[in-house]
Chain A
Amino acid sequence: DAKTTQPNSMESNEEEPVHLPCNHSTISGTDYIHWYRQLPSQGPEYVIHGLTSNVNNRMASLAIAEDRKSSTLILHRATLRDAAVYYCILRDLSQYNNNDMRFGAGTRLTVKP
């Protein structure tokens, strides 16, 4: 899987939007962009994924650059419960027998009341 680069940490105020960036300059045409988050003392949980178009779900939005070399996870109104480590991962689904999803260190999001 291609490598991603994320800031080590970010801070946000409660009820304000948060934009978490991810760079993936070596992304291939068949790489999906996945985001997971890990709340304190829990296993990671799926947040959202996309290929080319922007995506929205109940948890967040994913904005993908036109050249796909970067993406941004958007939390529209951060709450204290959103404090977590957020992971951006690329997943090449054309490699059907390679199911190796590798997590980097992610971005630790702190939400201030």
Chain B
Amino acid sequence: DADVTQTPRNRITKTGKRIMLECSQTKGHDRMYWYRQDPGLGLRLIYYSFDVKDINKGEISDGYSVSRQAQAKFSLSLESAIPNQTALYFCATSKQGGTGELFFGEGSRLTVL
């Protein structure tokens, strides 16, 4: 089983709908992240969380919100999806301290029509 699990893996939705992408991890890491990947642009950080009570904006947080329900769970919400939010979304974790190595999930492909 994957250490970092994302659901759903694929989702097609319509403009204006609310969407939630969920991430759960079994690595016991404190830190969790949401990234977005668009073709040719690499990965861009949306939000990150150092622990259950900590939420931080990344470089492209507009239009997104997050919730850290537990140490192992970090969800990303699009309150009103728009077509330019069509992308591949990755959740990642890392442990506090150390070298900051990130462990990624397999990605959630979102299409907004």
Contacts and interface: CB of A to CB of B under 8 A. Distances in A.
A105 B48 CA distance: 20
Contacts of B33: 99, 101
- Mostly, the A contact residues are loop
A87 B45 contact: no
User: Which of B50, B100, B103: most chain A Cβ within 10 A?
Assistant: B100
Interface of B: 4, 31, 33, 35, 40-45, 48, 50, 58-59, 90, 92, 94, 99-107
Contacts of B45: 100-102
Contacts of B48: 99-100
Nearest to A32: B99
Contact of B42 (A41, A45, A99, A103): A103
Interface of A: 32, 34, 36, 41-46, 49, 87, 91, 93, 97, 99-106
Nearest to B59: A102
B104 A43 contact: yes
